[in-house]
Chain A
Amino acid sequence: MICIMTGLTLMGGLLFLYPVFVAENRQNALNANKRLVKELRLTDLCLFTEARYTRHPSQADLHSAFQDHPMAFEHFPSGSLMLPPQFIHSLVSEEIQ
Chain B
Amino acid sequence: MQWISRQSYFLDYALSSLLRRKWKNFSLIFIYGLIIFMISSVLFFSEAIRKEAEFILEDAPPIIVQRILAGRHELIPETYMTQIQEIRGIYKVTPRLWGYYYHPASKANYTIMVGNNGPQNDDEITIGNGVLRTWGTISDNQLFFKAYDGETIVLNITDTLDATAELVSSDLILVSESTFRRLFGVPEGFSTDFEVHIRNLSECPVIADKIVRILPDTRPILKEEIERTYASLFDWRSGYIIVLLSGAVLAFFIFAWDKATGLSAEEKAEIGILKALGWDTSDILLLKFWEGIAICFTAFVPAVIGAYIHVFLASAPLFEHALKGWSILYPEFQLNPHINAYQLGVVFALTVLPYTLITIIPAWRVSTTDPDTVMRQF
Chain A residues in the interface with B (C-beta under 8 A) = 1-2, 4-5, 8-9, 11-12, 15-16, 18-19, 22, 26-30, 32-52, 54-64, 67, 76-78, 80-83, 86
Determine whether the beta carbon of A45 is less than 8 Å from that of B53.
yes
Selected from B167, B226, B324, the residue in CB contact (under 8 A) with A43 is B226
Chain B residues in the interface with A (C-beta under 8 A) = 15, 19, 52-53, 55-61, 64, 66, 68, 71-73, 94, 96, 100, 108-111, 113, 115-118, 128, 130, 161-162, 164-172, 174, 193, 195, 219, 221, 225-226, 229-230, 232-233, 235, 238-241, 294, 297-298, 301-302, 304-305, 308-309, 312, 322-331, 333-334, 336-339
Determine whether the beta carbon of B221 is less than 8 Å from that of A29.
no
Q: How far is the CA of A76 from the CA of B324 in the complex (A)?
A: 11
- Nearest CB of A to B18, in Å: 8
Given A58-B226, A78-B325, check contact A36 B161 (CB 8 Å): yes
Q: Report chain B residues within 8 Å CB of A27.
A: 336
Q: Report chain B residues within 8 Å CB of A62.
A: 71
Determine whether the beta carbon of B327 is less than 8 Å from that of A78.
yes
- Nearest CB of A to B103, in Å: 11
Determine whether the beta carbon of B168 is less than 8 Å from that of A1.
no
Q: Report chain B residues within 8 Å CB of A19.
A: 336-338
Given A46-B171, A49-B329, A81-B240, check contact A40 B323 (CB 8 Å): no
Determine whether the beta carbon of B337 is less than 8 Å from that of A30.
no
Determine whether the beta carbon of B230 is less than 8 Å from that of A45.
yes
Q: How far is the CA of A47 from the CA of B180 in the complex (A)?
A: 23
Selected from A18, A37, A57, A76, the residue in CB contact (under 8 A) with B168 is A37
Most buried by B among A1, A19, A35: A1
Q: B-side binding surface: helix, strand, loop or mixed?
A: mixed
Q: Report chain A residues within 8 Å CB of B327.
A: 47-50, 54, 78
- Nearest CB of B to A4, in Å: 8
Q: How many A-B residue pairs have CB under 8 A?
A: 200
Q: Other CB < 8 Å A-B pairs besides A46-B166, A58-B226, 8 of them?
A: A12-B301, A29-B334, A36-B162, A46-B167, A46-B169, A61-B66, A81-B323, A83-B235
Q: Report chain B residues within 8 Å CB of A86.
A: 232
Determine whether the beta carbon of B305 is less than 8 Å from that of A81.
no
Selected from B56, B128, B232, B338, the residue in CB contact (under 8 A) with A45 is B56
Determine whether the beta carbon of B326 is less than 8 Å from that of A78.
yes
CB<8 Å pairs between A and B, sample of 26: A4-B298, A11-B305, A15-B337, A22-B337, A30-B55, A34-B55, A34-B56, A35-B162, A36-B169, A38-B59, A39-B115, A39-B116, A40-B118, A43-B64, A44-B168, A45-B167, A47-B330, A49-B108, A49-B109, A49-B327, A49-B330, A55-B111, A58-B230, A59-B64, A62-B71, A83-B235
